[in-house]
Structure 1
Amino acid sequence: MKKSVLSLILGIFLLGAMHAQESRYLVFEFIKVETSQMYDFIEYKDFMEKVYQSAVNDDRILGWDFWSLHSGADAGEFQYITITYYKDPVSMLSGLTEEDLIRYSMVSNPHMTEKQVREKFEHAFSTHDLAQRTYMQQISNTKDNFRMKKGVLASFDLMKAVEGKFQDYEKAEREVFMPIHQSRIEKGLMGSWTLLRTALPFGSEAKSTHLTMNMYSDYVQFFNAMEYEDLESTAEQQAAVEKGLKSRDQKWVYLATLESTIR
């Protein structure tokens, strides 16, 4: 049963990749940390930066981001989001095993023994709770030269396509909303935009089916974009926007700042 489910997921990913010009595969992890554990968790995060850099150098992952959340969730839900980038669905679903992490930890910290590394991980796991993990595929993105660096601001918009309008929603994002975002980028009001399709968890009870990543260089650009009004849009374009909005339900918006990025 498990094998057939994984085969189905891979089939969905590969079918999507046929239609995407440039496809990446991302794992989002939403992390909750108790206030009393915050110092130990940040120390663990700094340690993991070196570990993920070793994984990038070994071509096991494409990159890793660490985001601190500002709004979009209850304070007790989660405070951080990490994103791990993979080049294909197989490596994404396989992920980095415990043994991989231990090996890369010893590569990046040659002074540590295997026993010390295992003890560090055992302690680190008690400092935080993995509230949710979501597997996603990039299916559309704007043309830009935006650079990911510390301090970048992002709006993660969780969407749920209306039942029976899955294809309509994706078509609206590509043909209606992406050109709007591309125009904003060219006007200097936005850095980058990406549309992602959720693979796991999936089903009728899934909280979302898609996610858009809206990138801004800083708060100035973000607020300028929020205040911008396109007075040149035609009645036909406005009607297309309204139709596109009806194909999905915007479940939640998470505003976050990039604290660390590994490439």
Structure 2
Amino acid sequence: MKKLLLFLVCGMLWVHSLKAQQTQYMVFEFVKVENDQLFDYIEFKDLMEKVYRQALNDKRIKGWDFWALQSGGDQAAFQYIMVTYYNDPVQMMNGLDEQSMMEYTKIAYPHLNSIQVNKLFQESLGMRDMPMRLYMKEIAETNDKFQMKPGVLASFDLMKANEGQFDVYEKAESEIFKPIHQKFVEQGLMGHWSLLRTALPLGSEAKSTHLTMNVYKDYMQFFNAQSYEDMNQTASQREAVNKGLNSRDQKWVYLATLENVVR
């Protein structure tokens, strides 16, 4: 009996540990580049893909995406979104310091010397600005096997839960909207959906508390999803959807195309 109890306890701890390891932590960096430097920055982000791949090989990150903004509120503030994936919150908060980035650049480009690497980074820092950075924890996602690759389309929806309705909003997303998106995935109307909670910045002055990622394989799938209307919803389901919508303020929706990806 004692052996069985010990086995059950170990099994529960293993499942809990596995679940914790699967949780994704993500940093969203919204990047602004001056118009006269866009061409130079396009070359720079291709270089960054090779650098982040070295960081992935070194297990410092779990992945990296580079998105080009197509449309969205306050679009003039930035043109790109970089997303870096981490296995745990400590890795996320530590991030990749400038020295590490330089070391990975040397590995990715062995023909560059230290002076050239330093010059490259100083030039990149001068051509870009990051007016917004969000530290996020993924708390819900659809069950799918979607593969991120260049050309994929996504909408990043920044939400702010209404005061006193934080838990109500998260419950609505997990219990009402997640099944809807799961149905979209199964019907071929969507590739992937996930809900993320903001870790930083915090406080009442934060622009958003949550973010949803709605990912589509191409524009055809995106527009098919927009035109779809579920006529089979019951009155109680529609009421639950409306209650969920009223628990948050949809601040901005950004539509973007994936240009570079590291996995």
TM-score (norm 1): 0.91
What code does the residue aligned with 1:89 have?
A: P
Contact kept, 8 Å, 1:195 with 1:211, in 2: the verdict is yes
2:152 equivalent to 1:152: yes
**Within-5 A mapping of 1:1-263:** 22-263=22-263
Preserved contact between residue 69 and residue 254 of structure 2 (Cα < 8 Å):
yes
Q: Deviations over 1:75-100 (max 9, x none)?
A: 42100000000000000000001110
CA distance in 2, matches of 1:30, 1:81: 5
| Equivalent residue letter for 1:98 | E
Q: Distance in 1 between matches of 2:201 and 2:19?
A: 22
Aligned to 2:8: none
Letter matched to residue 119 of structure 1: K
Partners of 1:20 and 1:140 within 8 A in 2: no
> Contact 1:152–1:215 (CA<8 Å) still a contact in 2?
yes
Correspondence for 2:7: none
* Percent identity of equivalent pairs: 60
Q: Which residue of 2 aligns with 1:7?
A: none
1:55-111 Cα offsets, whole Å, 9 max, x none, are 001110011000000111334210000000000000000000111001100010111
RMSD: 1.5
Task: Classify the secondary structure of the residue corresponding to 1:76.
Answer: helix
SS at match of 2:127: coil
Q: 1:32·1:129 contact (CA, 8 Å) conserved in 2?
A: yes
Contact 1:20–1:139 (CA under 8 A) maintained in structure 2: no
Question: Conserved in 1, the CA contact under 8 Å of 2:22 and 2:87?
Answer: no
In the alignment, residue 218 of structure 1 is paired with which amino acid?
D
Bigger Rg, structure 1 or 2: 2
| Unmatched runs of 5 consecutive residues or more in structure 1 | 1-16
Q: Show structure 2 runs of 5+ residues with no match.
A: 1-16
Q: Distance in 2 between the 1:246 and 1:131 partners? A: 29
Distance of aligned partners of 1:101 and 1:221 in 2 relative to their CA distance in 1, 3 Å threshold: same
The separation in 2 between residues aligned to 1:18 and 1:174, in whole angstroms, is: 20
Displacement, 1:18? 10
| One-letter code aligned to 2:233 | S
For residues 21 and 186 of structure 1, what CA distance do their matches in structure 2 show? 26
- SS of corresponding position for 2:126: coil
Give the CA deviation at 1:124.
1.2
Equivalence for 1:13: none
User: CA deviation digits over 1:101-159, x for unaligned, max 9?
Assistant: 01100010111111110111011111111111110000000001111000000010000
Q: Which letter does structure 2 place at the counterpart of 1:231?
A: M
**Corresponding residue for 2:9?**
none
Secondary structure at 1:85 match in 2: strand
CA distance in 2, matches of 1:218, 1:124: 31
